[in-house]
Amino acid sequence: MTACVTSELRTNRKTSSQKHAELKRLSRKAARNIYDMLRLADQILQDHEYVDRFGGEPQLIEAMENDEFLHFGGNPSLPSMLRAFRANPLLKTWQEYRFNVRAMIDLAEPEPEPRRKQPDPAAIPKIIADVVSRFPQDITAAVNEAERRIKRISGKDETSDLVRHSIQEQIYDVRHKENEKYKSDGKPASEDLYVYFIGGSTLGNLTGKMLAELADSEQQKAEGHALNAAICRRFAEIVPEGTMLKRVVSTDDLRQAFEDLRRRR
């Protein structure tokens, strides 16, 4: 008891400058101790046989955090400090950062991926319209050019099959809307009819052979669409709104309807 009192009296006799120097010494020692503690903890965790005694690495880390690293109060957590040590285990690196644990934790975090530039929503329809006009005879070339330009404005190196399919569908949609102009009351000049879109090309550029082949193809599509329309129209009258057809129409009735409609064609 007397020795403790004597030591305390000696401490109180120190000047503020001496106390500050002592504080610096303790600070440097504590900082180095943190590094050494993390180094030892990492070495212990590499001993798999020893780790297994605690039920695994997470359990042992939790035990050390609640005992040897209790003075941190869990902030920063031991797992985050261990990640910082494992990412930069050299003493020299810690010295460069003056053993700043928070700085070492930040240093261990991966660089965030650069945010990809989102294309202007209005830019894509303009691109689609432009490639339709530039490649009226070649759907594939139109899709390729639109895909290339969309990748450039979005900062992407690749696009998925789904995106490419969407581009193609938008191109077909623009071509269809352009064709609707020729079916309206406001008829264009006769020479403009050469650019009527049909079969992936324009009417004016089709050869006689292509016209014959397209006639058969379009007829088959028309018949298919006509059958679809007839089927839908037939059952629209008996299937209640909001009810699925299979809840109302039996398989036999459905088969009979298809047979009747095919005979009428």
pLDDT digits (tens, 9 = 90+) for 63-111: 999 999 988 888 889 999 999 999 999 999 999 988 899 889 988 887 6
Residues 122 and 69 in one domain: no
Q: How does DSSP classify residue 115?
A: P
Kindly report the average pLDDT of the chain as a whole number. Answer: 84
Single residue among 157, 180, 198 that ends a domain in this structure: 198
Task: Write the CA distances from 27 to 23, 30, 31, 91, integer angstroms.
Answer: 6, 5, 6, 17
Q: Say what the pLDDT of residue 1 is.
A: 53
- 176 domain residue, yes or no: yes
Using the 3D structure, point to which of 75, 108, 141 is the last residue of a domain: 108
pLDDT at 72: 87
Question: How confident is the model at residue 116, as a pLDDT?
Answer: 60
Nearest CA among 86, 177, 91 for reference residue 128: 177
Residue 42 has pLDDT above 90, yes or no: yes
Residue 119 lies in a domain: yes
Band (137; pLDDT cuts 50, 70, 90): confident
Judge if 25 and 40 occupy the same domain.
yes
More confident position, 162 or 7: 162
pLDDT in tens, 197-247: 887 888 888 888 888 888 888 888 888 888 888 888 888 888 898 888 889
Domain residues for the domain of 168 are 114-198
Q: Are residues 131 and 152 in the same domain?
A: yes
Q: What pLDDT sits at residue 154?
A: 77
Rg (C-alpha) for the chain, rounded Å, is 39
Same domain, 131 and 171: yes
Contact 13, 22 (CB under 8 A): no
5 found inside a domain: no
Are 45 and 74 within one domain?
yes
* Least confident stretch, 2-6, 108-112, 131-135: 2-6
Of 72, 90, 108, which closes a domain? 108
Q: Quick check: is 256 in a domain?
A: yes
From residue 80, how far is each of 10, 110, 142, 260 by CA, in Å? 41, 13, 51, 73
Establish if 213 belongs to a structural domain: yes
Domain count, the chain: 3
Question: What local confidence, expressed as pLDDT, does residue 10 receive?
Answer: 57
